[in-house]
Amino acid sequence: MLHHKYIAIEGPIGVGKTSLSEILAKKLNARLVLEGAIENPFIHDFYKDMGKHAFQTQMFFLLSRFRQQQELVQNDLFQQGIVSDYVFAKDRIFANLTLDDNELKLYEQIHSILTGNVLKPDFVIYLQASTDVLLKRISMRGRKFENQITGDYLAELNQAYNYYFFHYSETPLMVINTSEIDFVHRDADLDDLLTHMEKVTTGTVYYKPVSVKR
């Protein structure tokens, strides 16, 4: 078992957050916490008309993630450990991209009230991929409502994520470019990742997969 008790995995849409979270949770016998994007009742309409449905979509995500965090605070889960496919603070990335000025002011007021009452991870993994790779992966997984995602929106989101984690310093951080990684089908990649995760205790580390090192 790693010394990290609460691991959060982040990255833009289609990068593989949920897949890696599921694998790590099983490997570490940890509780799996997923944000459940497809459970958001506004998400289908959001991708059809972002301007019209952004605020409802954003507020649903904010409040549902907050409820999940409250469950973690109220239960003694650290005996088992936690692996999550999101960082609560990243919610603001999407808010800044999609909300107008008045909506953003209201969102920020609510966010500031909630954020002090969430459980923070002690280790974060940021998964990166090019916009072209993200578009290909989104297409391959075949979620109908994601067909509306444009390359321009995804590129903007990708840039915002890179900016956010370039300035991130709240926890030890491992940055992984996922273009040549296959944690699902290559056990060596996963074992090498776990070995390097154990060594990260502070700062930011840029991980190079074992399959690329050969």
Task: Identify the active-site residue in 45, 49, 85, 182.
Answer: 85
CA distance 43 to 53: 8
**Alpha-carbon torsion (196, 170, 129, 22), positive or negative:** positive
The rounded distance, in Å, linking the Cα atoms of 211 and 101 is: 45
For residue 172, the 8-state DSSP code is: -
Active site annotation includes 191: no
Which among 78, 63, 81 is positioned nearest to 24, based on CA atoms? 81
N-term to C-term CA, the chain? 27
6-10/31-33 β-pairing = unpaired
Q: Cα(70)–Cα(180) distance, rounded to whole angstroms?
A: 36
Catalytic residues: 85
